Structure 1
Amino acid sequence: MKDAEFIFDDNCLKAFQTLKQALISAPIMQTPDWNEPFEIMCDASDYAVGAVLGQRKDKKLHVIYYASRTLDEAQMNYATTEKELLAVPSNKKDAKPRLLRWILLLQEFDLEIKDKKGTENVVADHLSRLENLEPERTSINDDFSYDKLIATLEENNSDMQVETTLAISVIPWYADLVNYLAAGIVPPTLSYQQKKRFFHDIKHYYWDDPLLFKRGPDGIFRRCVPEEEVENIIQHCHSAPYGGHTSTSKTCSKILQAGFYWPTIWKDVHAAIKECDRCQRTGNISRRDEMPQNGILEVEIFDVWGIDFMGPFPSSFGNKYILVAVDYVSKWIEAIASPTNDTRRNQANTRKTVATSRKDWSLKLPEALWAYRTAYKTPIGTTPFKLIYGKSCHLPVELEHKAYWAIRNLNLNYKAAGEKRILDINELEELRRDAYENAKIYKERTKQWHDKRISRIIFKQGDAVLLFNSRLKLFPGKLRSRWSGPFHITKIFPSGAVEIKGQSTEPFTVNGQRLKHYHYAETNEDSQILHLDETPPELIDNI
């Protein structure tokens, strides 16, 4: 008021001098002492955050710096905990993604968070309540790019050389679960169905700072592990001495029994075992690994033969093997006993015709041939004997028990028999054509049935493969792997044959059934440590 009397007495002058002296004295603002620990007192309100940086000397706090900042509209919606952490981000492990970024920025400092009473934190509390009556048009930008974060600064006490470990932060898969359990924050980007699923799953999780646990169907609590621990856990439960290189299901069971859990456990274990070198070199060839069948159709009888050895059998008059030859068209079989062999193949059921001692099998070989030649063969629709001679083979049992043909032909007429034989020979060509058609239809059906039950492995030129060694002897070296390699495919033939080449071998051709893909294990590069004076300029620009 213009008419008001201005009074400035001695008391006012004394108060003014005291305030003036307080503003310029050291206890209010002073330079930091780098040998002493620092203290930050912070507080937050609905529209600002404040902090005071200081050091204690003689149990009295000396202020070094005051700081306060107003919040933008988005930050005003933060929870109380987030507003407090916005002032000074702590190493709180259950923070939301933005809090995790703040944590990474402050991990180079040795911080200790202490709660202070409001009466002892008056300055920071006052700074946080300074409302901005004229808000700025630009909001505070606290969005940090992941690739610009310095995760760790380590100080070398010996030579005071600082090393920087550069890494890309990975938000754990359970971040949203932890944020809800710790602070009641629901992920804002979820749809209605996703929220419904989220609240259904959250009932099975339990937060015990700083760890998250999940209760399984068996009632056991298992720790939820982040992505960076998955590979090491799988290696322990699969490749360690107590792992045993077991299958995917058993390795997953061992991980669950050890008390660990993550959502993609089966998928990750399956991928790791698929690249395990030792596991790839074990096992045999299953029928699902076979190649598609390629039928062989021949027209002329005795034109193409399949020859192979069978055995070894118990020694019979010096013979241990059987040399077998089978005609591809008529299925006519010839066999002789042999003391040696050139190749080792599957044993046959010839033992059904030999005596108990099984030492006279070489004498019973003609009987086995007779039984085979007179047996009906589905591929040709008749017996090999009839296909060769044009008539059925009459067995002794037919004469003994008087079959119809034997009764009718008991008084044998050689003239009539000769005429009938000529008719049989004339019908032989037609019989063989029918056998060819039957064989073609049978092989087509067999191929269709077989090819539906194989895994259809596709090989490409340049693929790495392992070769199954079917001739490997079990003794000595019973535990030796039957798979050799890896080899690389150089050529693929339409018939299922594959040409492969090793590092020290010439190219050679094998059946594709004896091959399987080899998966090289992916190598993870270690974190790179760079000295500050050696940091690339382009990396400094991104920080």
Structure 2
Amino acid sequence: MLLLQEFNIEIRDKKGAENLVAGHLSRIEREDDPVPIKGKFPDEKLLHITTPTPWFAYICNFVAASQFPPEASRLYKERLQNDAKYYIWDDPYLWRLCNDQVIRRCIPDTKINSVLQFCHATPGGNHYGSTRMAKKVLDCGFYWPTIFRDAYQFVSTYDKCQKAGLAISRRNEMPQQPIPFFEAFDVWGIDFMGPFPVSNGYSYILLTVEAIATKINDAKVVVDFLKSNIFCWFGVPKALISDQGSHFYNRAMYSLRHKYGVVHRIATAYHPQINGQVEVFNREIKKTLQKMINPSQKDWSQLLEDALCSHRTTYRTPLGMSPYRIVVIKQYNLAYDQAGKQRKFQLQELDKLRLEAYENSRIYKKKVKRFHDQQILRKEFQVSQKVLLFNSRKLHSRWDGPFVITNVFPYGAIELKDEHTNNTFQVNGHQIKPFHE
């Protein structure tokens, strides 16, 4: 009878004399029967209907009939007897007196998912988190022992809630990977700033640690800048670092790199930390210009050189000196300084100064990495794992996907595959989270 309590059925006994139709059909004689009668019956286990036993079956049997489960240990019987005092059997339901002195109906395992679905996804559920949803189940008058655990599992695997979860933060970042140390001018980061209010026809700033004002931001401007301001002044670098902008990633840039043998490293989308040195330079130049320009903001192109001079001659903690000194091997000559005989000795200090700068930079980056990695949540991803990708658009799901991981690179980059289009692309591990099915 316990198995039938979840169904709303009524059994009525009808006398054979009153059930004339059934009695007539049972007495009709059939002369030919094409189906032979089998003398043997199949194994009774094949016809056995298997139904899950409710979690409260043993409690119900004890409360209703004082029966213990067969082969139960003495310790289990004591625990069952102790727990049973909180339960009330009121045919056909079992009720429990909870800690808040409210009597709630016990729900069998087969109904748990439907109750959670109702309390979470219906208009009254409002897609709240697991704790609120569990309390809502209790407020509805239902009970089972694992409410909070099941609510957490339900919310964690609910598709829409996963895609509308919390935005990424610094704690979700991958372990920091400082750029390796190179000789001066071997690696250059490059980026565009703008558009700004038009100043003498200029709207953009192209930066590499050097900077120039430009009227537009296209591939021709970038190629001309690299040739005239980098390659001809500081020599051909070994590598360039930039974002995925069309002004950096194009056929003209490919021809230039192929001609001079320069490696181009592309930063993953929405992760400017890969080109961190240029991003820091962007921020400093913006702050400096904000303090120097007029309220009309029309003179920033004229003041750009002054802002660059301030940047070059300012002491940098990672280097232990100013960028100007590591390049020209002497202090900057201000208006009151005079060039002296010490210039000959400063030239001899070139290697010493640069080695000192490299060592200072290595120590500083090591400290920053150690501090950064202590603040983040460790994440590990595996090939073939399904993940969601962060999307910052408003009024849309914050997370897109799921996508399948096809490759895990050693420095935080993850290659994803869209199962619908079979397209693959790379992102930083900071922007993804596991997808729970």
TM-score (norm 2): 0.64
CA distance in 2, matches of 1:423, 1:184: 101
Q: Distance in 1 between matches of 2:407 and 2:134?
A: 39
Q: What is the correspondence of 1:63-82 to structure 2 with a 5 Å cutoff?
A: none
Unpaired segments of 5 or more residues in structure 2? 14-42, 219-244, 246-269, 273-278
- Determine the structure 1 residue equivalent to 2:283: 348
Flag the structure with more relative contact order, 1 or 2, with Cα contacts below 8 A and sequence separation at least 6. 2
Residue 161 (structure 2) pairs with residue 285 (structure 1): no
CA RMSD of aligned residues (A): 3.9
The change in CA–CA distance for 1:271 and 1:321 in structure 2 (over 3 A counts) is farther
- Superposed CA offset, 1:72-123 (max 9, x none): xxxxxxxxxxxxxxxxxxx2x4xxxxxx6xx79xx999378xxxxxxxxxxx
2:376 to 432, 454, 459: 454
1:300 correspondence with 2:183: yes
Following the alignment from structure 2 to structure 1, what is the Cα–Cα distance between the partners of residues 334 and 383? 57
Could you say what secondary structure the match of 2:127 adopts? coil
TM-superposed deviation, 1:467: 3.2
Trace 1:26-425 onto structure 2 (pairs within 5 A).
91=1, 93=2, 110=11, 150=48, 166=49, 168-185=50-67, 189=72, 192=75, 202=84, 204-283=86-165, 284-313=167-196, 319-325=202-208, 333-341=209-217, 343=245, 348=283, 350-351=286-287, 352-354=290-292, 357=295, 359-360=297-298, 361-393=300-332, 417-418=340-341, 420-425=342-347
CA deviations on 1:161-213 (whole Å, 9 max, x unpaired) are: xxxxx4x2222222343344434456673564x67765665555444443333
- Alignment correspondent of 1:14: none
Aligned to 1:12: none
Q: Which residue of 2 aligns with 1:426?
A: 348
2:340 maps to 1:464: no
Q: In structure 2, the residue corresponding to 1:269 is in which secondary structure?
A: helix
Match of residue 432 from structure 2: 515
Q: CA deviation at 1:376?
A: 3.6
- Given that 1:353 and 1:364 are in contact with CA atoms closer than 8 Å, whether structure 2 keeps it comes out as no
Residue 367 of structure 2 is matched in structure 1 by: 445
Contact 1:466–1:515 (8 Å) recurs in 2: yes
Residues 109-138 of structure 1, C-alpha deviation per residue, up to 9 Å, x if partnerless?
Answer: 9378xxxxxxxxxxxxxxxxxxxxxxxxxx
Contact 1:310-1:348 at 8 Å conserved across structures: no
Q: Structure 1 residues 265, 370: CA separation in 2 closer, same or farther (over 3 Å shift)?
A: farther
Shift of 1:433: 1.0
Q: State how far apart, in whole Å, the 2-side matches of 1:248 and 1:197 are.
A: 29
Larger helix share, 1 or 2: 2
**Quick one: distance in 1 between partners of 2:283 and 2:428?**
23
**Over alpha carbons, which structure has the higher Rg?**
1
Distance 1:425 1:203, change over 3 A: farther
Q: Structure 1 residues 304 and 207 mapped into 2: Cα distance closer, same or farther (>3 Å)? A: same
Shift of 1:235: 1.3
The Cα of 1:375 is off from its aligned counterpart by 3.8
1:535 matched residue in structure 2: none
Q: Distance in 2 between matches of 1:385 and 1:355?
A: 24
- Give CA-to-partner distance per residue, 1:340-375, whole Å, 9 cap, x none: 557497883624525584724444444443443344
Give ranges in structure 1 of 5+ residues lacking alignment.
Answer: 1-90, 94-99, 113-144, 151-165, 326-332, 400-405, 407-411, 521-543
In 2, are the aligned partners of 1:462 and 1:488 still within 8 Å (CA)?
yes
Equivalent residue pairs, number: 340
- Residues 190, 373 of structure 1: CA spacing in aligned structure 2 closer, same or farther, 3 A cutoff? farther
Query: Kindly, what percent of the aligned residue pairs are identical?
Result: 41
Deviations 1:208-258 (A, max 9, x none): 443333444444333221211111111122222332333222322332332
Deviation per CA, 1:318-349: give whole Å up to 9, x if none: 65543332xxxxxxx32334455574978836
TM-score (norm 1): 0.53
Rate the CA distance shift 1:348–1:239 in 2: closer, same or farther, 3 A.
Answer: farther
Separation in 1, partners of 2:140, 2:113: 15
Q: Is the 8 A contact 1:353 1:368 kept in 2?
A: no
Relative distance call for 1:480 and 1:354 in structure 2 (3 A) is farther
Give the counterpart of 1:496 among 391, 408, 412. Answer: 412
